[in-house]
Amino acid sequence: MISERAALYSSYAEALPDIEKYTSGVLQFSNGEGPVVGRVDPSSFDFLGIEKINRDAYILKRVPPQYPSGCTIKVPVNVRHRVTVEFDITENGYVRDPRVISSDFECLELVSMRAVSKWQYEPKLLNGSTVPRFDVRTTFVFVLQN
């Protein structure tokens, strides 16, 4: 079985030069008898005998920031404010070291970092092992409406 997979892989190596981008979608190729279509599940990726996969971290739980009541008296209605937060994701999928990298309203920075701290991720995989993901960024847009 392994030699069949290796032969199959070598015959499709040129057709699939970047196998990572196919790990969460639909693969379509021909086996000589017609097209073969299959859905690839990244958590159990063993297509063509490749047991190790790579994929980026992805969000499992997102908590939105709450507009602080103390900030409402300081801004006019319908004005947009942006806060960009950068953080790291641990090998267990937790957010670590959130930091504000840009903000146009200081009053919203703390609630943005608190919200990001509650997020959870499926960790990044590198050669089948979970690894930290560094310098992830997200931007919150706040609009106070009446």
pLDDT string in tens for the chain (146-residue length): 444 444 444 444 444 444 444 444 444 444 444 444 444 455 555 555 445 689 999 999 999 999 888 887 777 778 899 999 999 999 999 999 999 999 999 999 999 999 999 999 999 999 889 999 999 999 999 988 77
**pTM listed for this prediction:** 0.63
Task: Say which CATH superfamily domain 58-143 falls into.
Answer: TonB (3.30.2420.10)
3-class secondary-structure state, position 140 = strand
Residue found by looking up tokens 């994701």 in the block: 89
Q: In angstroms, rounded to a whole number, what is the distance separating the alpha carbons of residues 95 and 132?
A: 10
Q: Where in the chain is the domain with CATH 3.30.2420.10?
A: 58-143
Residue among 109, 115, 107 at smallest CA distance from 75? 107
Q: Which pLDDT score is estimated for 44?
A: 52
| Residue 97 CA neighbour count, 13 Å, CB half | 9
- Token pair 């995989």: residue: 125
